[in-house]
Amino acid sequence: MMPDPLPFPQEYRYYRYSHYIKQKFGQKVYRIGIDAGFTCPVRDGHIGTEGCLYCDNTSFAANQRKDILSIHDQITQTLRSNKFTRKKDTRIFFAYFQSYTNTYAPVKDLEKLYREALDFPEIAGLIIGTRPDCLPGPVLDLLQDIAQDYFVSLELGIESVYDKTLKWVNRGHDFATAEKAINRAVAKNINVSGHYILGFPTETRLEMLDSTKIINQLPLTGIKIHNLHIVKHTPLAKIYAEKPFTLFTEEEWIPFICDYLELLRSDLVIERLVGDALRDTLVAPLFPTQKTLILEYIRRELEKRNSYQGGKNENRYI
């Protein structure tokens, strides 16, 4: 039996992002991906030049190009596209600043970019992907100010709670930096979702499961879980070619992620449970099943266990 109350319907088995948004806005809200031309301190020479081992943003952002349109033109073009005009049940959207580090600029430049997106009456808020070491006080003050009138969510790259892993992937910061950034942002009434990768060869499966104990203590609104991918044209692809290491297969991922969900606190919104790099950029692992069906298999596995997100976490609500 599921305990009552849970923040999601029993049949879902975990706290879906779509359900969270429906609770908050009363309707579906889609993301409009924006490329604002940012770079990253691990690429521009501030910390390094090669980026994180696994990173090639072109694998995740299909609209990467040399000539970047203005924020206004990107949103206008998307709103007019068939992809969105056919969604008759959708009237509001989030501007999703996705590519690279979207707080890595002077605060006056950031405000101009963010406000340009918010000028559209259809835009109900901002989702901003960034690094924990790129959130100085003035930027958080700006986001706090915007959050008084709009939904604001930072999508923060935690990636791992283990410093040995962060060092191995050339992340350029430690976990303490991520923890501090999360706490500082939440203190400003800004929602924070963590991006987290499972499957690094530096971690045992027990260590991966144990990471939930640390994740549960963070004041995160949500989490975006990604199985480790090897993407073409990345330093990690070269390492993998020279000395392959074990990655999760689809058959292994489904029961493992259910184990992971059972240990997470129940009020943590689940924004992703499987990676979705573009197929023509992917070296490994190649999951044969469509993503939506994998999500259904995860739900069924939890149902088969008569379990749910947080089912093995004694302190379901922090």
Q: What is the pLDDT of residues 52-98, one digit of tens each?
A: 777 775 544 444 545 789 999 999 999 988 666 665 567 899 999 99
Strand pairing category for 282-284 and 230-231: antiparallel
Number of domains the chain contains? 1
Q: Residue 71: inside a domain, yes or no?
A: yes
Contacts of 194 (CB under 8 A, 6+ apart): 156, 158, 178, 182, 215, 218, 220, 222, 223, 224
Q: Which of 52, 5, 36 lies closest to 195, judged by CA?
A: 52
pLDDT of residue 59: 44
pLDDT bin (cut points 50, 70, 90) of residue 217 is very high
Q: Residue 52: inside a domain, yes or no?
A: yes
Q: Residue 315: inside a domain, yes or no?
A: no
Q: Residue 5: inside a domain, yes or no?
A: no
Which structural domain range is residue 47 located in?
Answer: 10-304
CATH number at residue 154: 3.20.20.70
> What is the arithmetic mean of pLDDT over 32-39?
91
Q: Residue 51: inside a domain, yes or no?
A: yes
Contact 35, 64 (CB under 8 A): yes
Angle at 179 between CA 42 and CA 161, to 5 degrees: 75
pLDDT bin (cut points 50, 70, 90) of residue 261 is very high
Tell whether the model's pLDDT for residue 306 goes beyond 60.
yes
Tell whether the model's pLDDT for residue 214 goes beyond 70.
yes
Q: Residue 317: inside a domain, yes or no?
A: no
Cα–Cα dist 132/176, whole Å: 10
Q: Residue 4: inside a domain, yes or no?
A: no
- Residue with tokens 């480790």, as numbered in its chain: 228
pLDDT bin (cut points 50, 70, 90) of residue 316 is very low
